[in-house]
Amino acid sequence: MTMPHSGDVISYIEMCLEEGTSLQRGMNYRLATGRSVILMSLRKGAPYADRVEDQGRTLIYEGHDVPKFGGVVNPKLLDQELQNLGGSLTQNGLFSAAAAEFKLGLRESEIVRVYEKIRDGVWVFNGEFELVDAWGESDGNRRVFKFKLHLTEDVETTLAVSQIHHEHTRLIPSTVKQEVWKRDKGRCVICGSTKNLHFDHDIPFSKGGTSLTANNIRILCVNCNLAKSDKIE
- Specify the pLDDT at position 167: 36
pTM: 0.84
Flag whether pLDDT at 205 surpasses 90. no
3-state secondary structure 171-213: CCCHHHHHHHHHHCCCCCCCCCCCCCEEEEECCCHHHCCCCCC
Across the range 98-104, mean pLDDT stands at 98
Kindly report which listed range (35-44, 65-74, 119-128) carries the lowest average pLDDT score. Answer: 65-74
Q: What is the end-to-end Cα distance of the chain in Å, rounded?
A: 29
Helix (H, G, I), strand (E, B) or coil at 143: strand
**pLDDT for 9-38, tens place per residue?**
999 999 999 999 999 899 999 999 999 999
Burial class (CB in 10 A: 0-12, 13-18, 19+), 24: exposed
Structural domains of the chain, with CATH: 8-152 (2.30.280.10), 154-233 (1.10.30.50)
**pLDDT for 168-188, tens place per residue?**
356 788 889 989 999 999 999
Q: How confident is the model at residue 60 (pLDDT cuts 50, 70, 90)?
A: very high
